Amino acid sequence: MRETKIRNTNQRIAVDIEGLSAMLSCGNATARKIGEDARARITIGRRVLYSVSKVERYLNEISI
């Protein structure tokens, strides 16, 4: 399997679980739960990504 290249971009449409947990400053389990609750999960083959815009919208909705 080929190694994934690391690219630096400021605008991300979707991130993996590591990117999501870094974005939210929490652990992988919590980030995965937030991603699932936000219905932001995107599955492409075996790869799982999370929609950044859906997660942001979800967090804005549940915040006071």
Cβ contacts of 24-29, under 8 Å, gap ≥ 24: 24/55
Whether residue 62 has pLDDT greater than 80: yes
The residues spanned by each domain of the chain are 14-62
Residue 23: the pLDDT is 93
What confidence tens digit (pLDDT) does each residue in 7-46 have? Answer: 777 788 999 999 999 999 999 999 999 999 999 999 999 9
Residue 26: the pLDDT is 96
Beta strands 47-51 and 41-44 are: antiparallel
